[in-house]
Amino acid sequence: MKVVILWSDALLFLLLALVFIGGWWSRRQAHLRDAWRKVGASATAMAATTVLATFLLVGVLDSLHYRERLPDVGGVPAGSTNYSNEVLSALDAVLSPLRTRSEKTYSAPLATYLFAKESLDAGGGGRDFPRLRHGGAHLGAQLDGHGGDIAMRVLKGLGLGVALWLPLWFFARRKKLMRSGIHGDGAGDTAGPAVGAVLVTALVLLLIAGVVVALAQGYHVLGTDKVGQDVLYLTLKSIRTGLLIGTLTTLIMLPAAVLLGMLAGYVGGWVDDAIQYLYTVLNSIPGVLLIAAAVLMMQVIIDTHPEWFASSAERADARLLALCLILGVTSWTGLARLLRGETLKLREMDYVQAAQAFGVGRLAIMLRHILPNLMHIVLIALVMDFSGLVLAEAVLSYVGIGVDPNTISFGTMINAARMELAREPMVWWSLAAAFAFMFALVLAANLLADAVRDAFDPRNAG
Amino acid sequence: MLAYIVRRLLYAIPILIGVNLITFALFFVVNSPDDMARMQLGVKRVTPEAIEKWKVERGYDKPLLWNAQAGGAARATETIFFQKSAKMFAFDFGRADDGRDIAREITTRMMPSLAVAIPVFVLGLFSAVSFALLLVYFRASYLDFAGVVLCVAMMSVSGLFYIIGGQWLVSKIWHLVPISGYAGGLDAAKFIILPVVISVIGGIGSSTRWYRTLFLEEVSKDYVRTARAKGLSERAVLFGHVLRNALIPILTGVVVLIPLLFMGSLLIESFFGIPGLGSYTIDAINAQDFAVVRAMVFIGSLLYIVGLLLTDISYTLVDPRVRLQ
Amino acid sequence: MSLLTVRDLSVAIGQARPVDGVSFDIALGETFALLGESGCGKSMTALALMRLLPDAARIGGGQVAFGGRSLAELPESEMRSLRGGGMAMIFQEPGTSLNPVMTVGRQIRESIDLHGGKLGAVELLDAVGIPDAPRRANEYPFQLSGGMKQRAMIAMALAGAPKLLIADEPTTALDVTIQAQVLDLLRELQRERRMAMLLISHDLGVVSRMSDHVGVMYAGQLVEVAPRDRFFGAAAHPYSRALFAALPDSSRRDGELASIPGSVPPLTAIFSGCRFADRCAEVRPACREAPPPWRELGDGAGAQHMVRCIRVGELPMAAPMAAAEKSALAARREGAAALLQVSDLQVHFPIRRGVLQRVVGQVRAVDGVSLELQAGRTLALVGESGCGKTTAGKAILHLQPPTGGSVRLDGRQLGGLAPRAMQMVFQDPYGSLNPRLRVGEIIAEGMRALAIGGDHSRRIAGLLGQVGLAADMAGRYPHEFSGGQRQRVAIARALAVDPRLLVLDEPTSALDVSVQAQILNLLRELQGRLGLGYLFITHNIAVVDFLAHEVAVMYLGRIVERGRAEEVLRAPRHPYTQALLSAVPRVEQDGEMRGVERVVLQGDMPSPANPPAGCHFHPRCALAVAACRSAYPDETRLTATHAVRCHLAD
Contacting C residues, span 477-496, partner chain A, CB-CB under 8 Å = 477, 479-480, 490, 493-494
Confidence (pLDDT) at B186: 79
Say what the pLDDT of residue B120 is. Answer: 95
Residue C532 CA to residue C279 CA, distance in Å, equals 31
Inter-residue contact A358 to C419 (CB < 8 Å):
yes
| Per-residue pLDDT at C488 | 94
Identify residues of A whose CB sits under 8 angstroms from chain B CBs: 277-278, 280-286, 288-290, 292-294, 296-297, 299-301, 303-304, 387, 391, 394-395, 398-401, 410, 414, 418, 421, 426, 431, 435, 438-439, 442-443, 446-447, 450
Q: What is the mean pLDDT of residues A8-16?
A: 90
Q: Taking residues A383-390, report their average pLDDT.
A: 89
Amino acid sitting at position C93? E
The mean pLDDT value for A425-447 works out to 90
SS3 state of residue C54: coil
Is a pLDDT exceeding 60 seen at residue C75? yes
DSSP secondary structure code for residue A150 in this structure = H
- Could you tell me the CATH superfamily of domain A238-460? MetI-like (1.10.3720.10)
What is the C-alpha separation between C18 and C12, in angstroms, rounded?
A: 7
Helix (H) or strand (E) holding C225: strand C221-227
CA-to-CA dists, residue C112 to B21, C107, C109, C188, angstroms: 61, 9, 5, 21
Peptide bond into A425 cis (omega under 30): yes
Asked if the model's pLDDT at residue A188 lies above 70, the reply is no
Residue B186, Cβ density class (10 Å: 0-12 exposed, 13-18 middle, ≥19 buried): exposed
Answer whether A343's CB lies under 8 Å from A370's CB: yes
Gap between the Cα atoms of C257 and A7, Å rounded: 69
Q: Which residue of C has its CA nearest to A375?
A: C436
Around C189, how many Cα atoms within 13 Å sit in the side-chain half-sphere? 26
Name the 3-class secondary structure at C68.
Answer: coil
- Determine the pLDDT at residue A329: 85
pLDDT tens digit sequence for C336-387: 678 999 999 999 998 888 777 788 888 889 999 999 999 999 999 999 888 8
Of the options 3.65.10.10, 1.10.260.40, 1.10.3720.10, 3.40.1190.20, the CATH number for the domain spanning B102-320:
1.10.3720.10
Inter-chain residue contact A358 with C434, CB threshold 8 Å: no
Q: Map out the domains of chain A as residue ranges.
A: 238-460
CB contact under 8 A, A391 and B39: no
> Cβ A350–C423 below 8 Å, yes or no?
no
Contact status, residue A81 vs residue A67, Cβ threshold 8 Å: no
**Stretch A406-434: mean pLDDT, rounded?**
83
CA dist B53 to A304, B59, B61, Å? 19, 10, 9
- Alpha-carbon distance of C4 to C70, in angstroms, equals 10
SS3 state at A280: helix
Closest by Cα among C444, C450, C342, C462 to C391: C342
pLDDT, tens digit, 9 for 90 and up, residues C139-191 = 999 999 888 999 999 999 999 899 999 999 999 888 888 898 899 999 999 99
Looking at the partner chain, which of C431, C435, C450 has a beta carbon nearest the beta carbon of A359?
Answer: C450
Q: Where are the beta strands (DSSP E) in C329-483?
A: 340-353, 358-373, 378-382, 404-409, 412-413, 422-425
Contact C488, C473 (CB under 8 A): no
- Bridge partners of C404, per DSSP, are C346
| B12: contact with A, CB 8 A cutoff | no
Q: Which residues of chain B have pLDDT under 70?
A: 43-45, 325
Q: Cα C147 to the chain's mean position, in Å?
A: 15
Summarised one tens digit per residue, pLDDT across range B87-133 is 888 888 888 888 788 999 999 999 999 999 999 999 999 999 999 99
pLDDT for B29 equals 80
Chains that touch B (3 or more CB pairs under 8 A): A, C
Helix, strand or coil for residue C66? strand
* Residue A181 pLDDT greater than 60, yes or no: no
Polymer length in residues for chain C: 650
Cβ-nearest to C355 among B3, B227, B319: B3
- Chain mean pLDDT for chain C: 87
Looking at the complex, report in whole angstroms how far the Cα of residue C273 sits from the nearest Cα belonging to chain A. Answer: 25
pLDDT digits (tens, 9 = 90+) for C281-322: 888 888 888 889 888 886 655 568 899 988 887 776 554 444
Q: What is the mean pLDDT of residues C453-459?
A: 88
What digits encode the pLDDT tens for the residues C112-125?
A: 999 988 889 999 99
Task: Tell me the pairing of strands C221-227 and C306-307.
Answer: antiparallel
What is the predicted pLDDT for the residue at A56?
Answer: 94
- A31/C397 touch (CB, cutoff 8 Å), yes or no: no
Cβ proximity of C399 and C342 under 8 Å: no
Task: Please name the residues in contact with C206: beta carbons below 8 A apart, sequence gap of 6 or more.
Answer: C171, C179, C183, C199, C585
Q: For C316-326, what is each residue's pLDDT tens digit?
A: 655 444 444 44
Task: Return the pLDDT at A370.
Answer: 93
Classify C338-421+499-645 by CATH class: alpha beta
What does the DSSP assignment read for C7-48?
Answer: EEEEEEETTEEEEEEEEEEEETT-EEEEE--TTSSHHHHHHH
Task: Please give the backbone phi and psi of residue C23, each rounded to the nearest 5 degrees, phi first.
Answer: -130, 135
CB–CB contact B140 C82 (8 Å)? no
Our measurement of the distance from residue A59's CA atom to the centroid of its chain's CA atoms, rounded to an integer in Å, reads 6
pLDDT at C87: 93
A–B: how many Cβ contacts below 8 A?
Answer: 126
Complete DSSP assignment for A200-212: HHHHHHHHHHHHH
**What residues of chain A lie within 8 A of the CB of C394, using their CB?**
353
Model confidence band, residue C334 (pLDDT cutoffs 50, 70, 90): low
Give CA–CA dist C203/C243, Å, rounded: 10
Average pLDDT over residues C429-457: 89
Residues in B 134-163 with any Cβ partner in C closer than 8 A: 139-140
Q: How far is CA C357 from CA A267, A268, B4, B7, B322, in A?
A: 21, 17, 9, 9, 18
The three-class DSSP label of residue C56 is coil
Query: Would you list the DSSP string of A315-346?
Result: HHHHHHHHHHHHHHHHHHHHHHHHHHHHHHHH
Rounded-to-integer distance, Cα C538 and Cα C540, Å: 5
Please give the residue that has the higher pLDDT: either A188 or C17. C17
Please answer yes or no on whether C433 and A351 come within 8 Å at the CB atom.
yes
The conformational region for residue C614 under phi > 0 = left, psi -120 to 50 = alpha, else beta, is left
pLDDT level of residue C592 (50, 70, 90 thresholds):
very low
Size of interface B-C (CB pairs under 8 A): 82
Decide if A373 and C434 are in contact by the 8 Å CB cutoff. Answer: yes
Of C81, C83, C353, the CB nearest to B229: C83
Chains that touch C (3 or more CB pairs under 8 A): A, B
Helix ranges (DSSP H) in C282-438: 389-397
Q: Where are the alpha helices (DSSP H) in chain B?
A: 2-24, 33-41, 48-58, 74-77, 80, 102-137, 142-155, 159-166, 188-219, 222-229, 234-236, 243-255, 266-272, 277-287, 290-318, 320-323
Q: According to the model, what pLDDT value does residue C320 have?
A: 44
Percent of chain C with pLDDT over 90: 47
Angle subtended by helix axes C146-158 and C176-193, to nearest 10:
10
φ and ψ at residue C214, rounded to 5 degrees: -125, 135
pLDDT tens digits along B38-67: 777 776 667 888 888 877 877 777 777 777
